[in-house]
């Protein structure tokens, strides 16, 4: 089973709201990722977790706060977002972060609209 699940599918929030995106995988993968994708653009890496520890933060604004409660779950906490943060947020996982095991499987994404 190569499935990564994400909830919710759609989210509309105001600039003062606090919300969270959730991602789950049961493939035993030890690396998990958050990406942001704007229309007609490729995914942009935001965060990488390896063995539940944050290993890469691609200079993402602090209004995005990742959390990895355990090896199967990844959250992205959102606070005080801007309209330009509206995008498709994708979660991915891979067996390991290292190159030979970095076959990344993506979830369906959460489509976020910030009003």
Partner 1 sequence: QKEVEQDPGPLSVPEGAIVSLNCTYSNSAFQYFMWYRQYSRKGPELLMYTYSSGNKEDGRFTAQVDKSSKYISLFIRDSQPSDSATYLCALHGSSNTGKLIFGQGTTLQVKP
State the residues that interact with partner 1 by CB under 8 A: 2, 4, 6, 31, 33, 40-43, 45, 48, 50, 55-56, 88, 90, 94, 97-100, 102-109, 111
Minimum distance of partner 1 from residue 69's CB (angstroms): 20
Contacts of 102 (CB under 8 A, 6+ apart): 31, 94, 95, 96
Half-sphere exposure of 26 (CA within 13 A, CB side): 2
40 vs 62, beta carbon nearer partner 1: 40
Rank residues 39 and 84 by Cβ distance to partner 1 and give the closer one. 39
Q: ω into residue 8 within 30 of 0, thus cis?
A: yes
């Amino acid at each position: 089973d190569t499935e990564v699940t994400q909830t919710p599918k759609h989210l509309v929030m105001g600039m003062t709201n606090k919300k969270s995106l959730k991602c789950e995988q049961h493939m035993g993968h030890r690396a998990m990722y958050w990406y942001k994708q704007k229309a007609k653009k490729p995914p942009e890496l935001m965060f990488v977790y390896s063995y539940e520890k944050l290993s890469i933060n691609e200079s993402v604004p602090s209004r995005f706060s990742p959390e990895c409660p355990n090896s199967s779950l990844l959250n992205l906490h959102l606070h005080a977002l801007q309209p330009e943060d509206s995008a498709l947020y994708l979660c991915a996982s891979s067996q390991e972060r290292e190159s030979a095991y970095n076959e990344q499987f993506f979830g369906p994404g959460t489509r976020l609209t910030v009003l």
